[in-house]
Amino acid sequence: MADHTIQFEGAAEPVSVPTGALLSEAARLAGVEILQPCGGQGRCGRCAVQILDGTVRRRSTLRLSPADVEAGYALACQSVVEGDARVYVPPQEKIERRLTTDRTVAEVTVPDWYDPTTRQAIRRVNLTLAPPTMDDQTDDWSRLRRALRQEVGLDEVEASLGTLRGIGTALREGEWQVAAVLDVNRWDCDPCRPILVDLFPGHPPDDTPLWGAAIDIGTTTVTVWLVDLLSGEVRAQVAEYNGQIARGEDVISRIIYAGKSEQNRQEMRSLVLETINTLLETACKRVKAQPGEVYKVTVAGNSTMIHLLLGIPAGSIRLSPFITAVNHVPSSPAHEVGINIHPAASVDCLPGVASYVGADISSGVLSSGMDDSEQITLFLDVGTNGETVLGSSEWLVTCACSAGPAFEGAGVLDGMRATRGAIEEVWVSGETYEPTIRVIGSVKPIGVCGSGLIALLAELFLTGVVDKAGHVNLNLDTPRVREGEHGPEYVIAWADETQTGRDIVITDVDIDNLLRAKAAIYAGFTVLAENVGVPLGLAERVLIGGSFGKYINVEKAVQIGLLPDLPWERFQFLGNTSVRGAYLALLDPALRARVTDIAARMTYIELSADNTFFDAFTSALFLPHTDMLRFPSVEAAITRKE
Ligand code: FES
């Protein structure tokens, strides 16, 4: 096959690729970053590049206008190289790389039951060994095991080859005074043989921290909590966008991208590992520790994220009958997973239930405590996958619905994530239709984040700017409503008030996307409740998880029909329940075992196989719903306005 030379403008060197290669692949070889938000499916149109010289074969131009094609534009993910070419990559929308700290730092109290000597599996013990002599030629490993038996009562200690390689040096450097780090009580064995994880010279003071980490791999954000296992305290919390975003904004796009080649699968694994390792490094720096001193990691995340982290093919997750390769992953040493902590530290991925109800939900249920409560509880993770769990200590049922990323700002013209410059709260005057906004960071706005979109939609509905079907009323006497480039729209902020110098608007199309997202979530939990014959009104608590969930205004979310119309005191926001559950499992092997029990106990209901889901979804595509009897408080609010 002939090779062709592709020169990307601005790249130091041209690259050589064979006939049939995609331009996106050539770009990667050239070290040119091209974002592929839909995972290279040709759906989003955001990987457009301009062919300056030469030609490429365009497999799809669906997302390009005839004028774009005329001007030489092509989708990098859909363009096949057939000859030499010179390519210009226009500046792409940059992913905001900084999360605002007030949105990612949670308040964490160490559970009052925590006692590292009885609960914690990772222990550090100081040992003083008798040096070998001509009369005692016991080998180093046996000598160490003897000391562990005699000094701390630990029998039958095991070690990996990697750890054994280092013991001789540690013993001699420490002149037979060493500290051993052991994993003494894994959750999945009884009795457990203790494992020697590390041995280093000297005796550190007793209050020297012993580090572990709880990690949540979200589709959008990865969160790391660095924990001192001696006190149970979370000493550093860091979060960053998942590096895989550049290769797909939702799980389906990422599965598709990863499934295209072995190289892509490895790339997805590397991207998330890079995010995790950078976060661990940052967290360690904050507490003046080294990543190599982290001895245990517990990981939660949806099933796709766990598969991609471990390099396990995830293709079957998106294809009927929607099966994961593995729900219960055995613990593996960090060096095998690729996480840069102590190489022999164990990386424990929590178990998931099904393709779309992953370890993030089992972990969330643990942290909510609903599996241990007699109260009937509805647990919602308001995110892209809209996972729901209903139940109590007696029973648990779960489902997931594909809500899409609209509440995370994707698919909404001026939508954005909850970072500095995002409008997070909106009030609209019922008389003048003028909005009042609150912006994260108190700066000029750039766009609207999820909580802002919910508030905006509720306000526009209650003030009559938007009707029940989600259409902007162009007959109102205000310049805020108008026919825009994308159809009817409402202007939230004028160009001179924004950072971008453009009006910030919400359009009919945006509202339609939001209605679809909220309808999917609402339909999910109503169908779940109907399936088990428990009316939603019987839910004594509604727990809302997900880092975004924390900022939802319940009243507004009920007004748009995203949450059920129940007394406010039943709602509780739990923040990032996934990382919280991982933290609890890190502290106590008994709680780790409980996550497995939770995952095994949850009955999964596949909504795509449920005929009633589509009807429930269609009925929920209105503000707040076609059946107003379900929303008495909203009905009353509308009547008051009239
Ligand atoms: S169209 Fe190419 S990445 Fe979406």
Region 76-86: mean pLDDT is 93
What pLDDT is stored for residue 274 in this prediction?
Answer: 97
pLDDT number for residue 486: 84
Is residue 527 over pLDDT 70?
yes
Site to substitute for ligand 1 among 22, 28, 36, most atoms within 8 A of C-beta: 36
State yes or no: pLDDT of 102 exceeds 50: no
pLDDT band of residue 196 (cuts 50, 70, 90) is: very high
Q: How confident is the model over 95-115, as a mean pLDDT?
A: 68
What pTM value is reported for the model?
0.86
Note the pLDDT of residue 96. 44
Higher-pLDDT residue of 538, 610: 538
pLDDT tens track for 308-326:
999 999 999 999 899 999 9
Instruction: Specify the ligand 1 atom closest to the Cα of 78.
Output: 2
What pLDDT was estimated at residue 547? 61
Q: Inform me whether the pLDDT recorded for 97 exceeds 70.
A: no
Label residue 550 by pLDDT band (50, 70, 90). Answer: low
Confidence bin at 548 (pLDDT 50/70/90):
low
Distance (Å) from CA 359 to ligand 1 centroid: 29
Q: What is the mean pLDDT of residues 416-444?
A: 90
In whole numbers, what is the pLDDT of the chain averaged over residues? 91
Q: Look at 208 and 188; give whichever has higher pLDDT.
A: 208
321 Cβ contact partners less than 8 Å away, ≥ 6 residues apart: none
Q: Is 75 in the pocket of ligand 1 (CB under 6 A)?
A: yes
pLDDT at residue 607, as a whole number:
86
Q: Whose CA is nearest to atom 1 of ligand 1?
A: 42
Residue 98 has a pLDDT of: 42
Q: How confident is the model at residue 339 (pLDDT cuts 50, 70, 90)?
A: very high
Q: Ligand 1 centre and the CA of 46: distance in Å? A: 5
What pLDDT, on a 0 to 100 scale, did the predictor assign at position 95?
44
> From ligand 1's centre to the CA of 205, what distance in Å?
55
pLDDT category of residue 92 using cuts at 50, 70 and 90 = low
Strands 195-201 and 177-183: antiparallel
C-alpha span between 526 and 531 (Å, rounded): 8
- Read off the pLDDT of residues 349-403 as tens digits, 9 standing for 90 and up: 999 999 999 999 999 999 999 999 999 999 998 777 789 999 999 999 999 987 7
Kindly state the helix (H) or strand (E) to which residue 240 belongs, with its residue range: strand 234-241
Q: CA neighbours within 13 Å on the CB side: how many for 320?
A: 4
pLDDT tens-digit readout, 393-427: 999 999 998 777 778 777 788 888 788 899 999 99
Q: How far is the CA of 48 from the centre of ligand 1 (A)?
A: 8
Place of tokens 């000859």: 83
Sign of CA dihedral 247, 250, 252, 253: negative
Pocket test for ligand 1, best of 28, 34, 46, 56 (most atoms within 8 A of CB): 46
Q: What is the pLDDT of residue 101?
A: 42
Q: What is the pLDDT of residues 460-514, one digit of tens each?
A: 999 999 999 999 999 999 999 999 988 999 999 999 999 989 999 999 999 999 9
Q: Mutation test of ligand 1: which of 22, 34, 35, 44 has the most ligand atoms closer than 8 Å to its C-beta?
A: 44
Q: Which ligand 1 atom sits closest to the C-alpha of 48?
A: 2
The verdict on the CB of residue 253 being under 6 Å from ligand 1 is no
Which residues lie closer than 8 Å to 305 by C-beta, 6 or more apart? 217, 218, 219, 242, 251, 272, 358, 360
State yes or no: pLDDT of 99 exceeds 60.
no
Buried/exposed 239-270: b ≥16 CB within 10 Å, e otherwise: bbbbbbbbbbbbbbbbbbbbbbeeebbebbbe
* 537 vs 642, residue with greater confidence: 537
72 CA distance to ligand 1 centroid (A)?
Answer: 16
Cβ of residue 79 lying under 6 Å from some atom of ligand 1: no
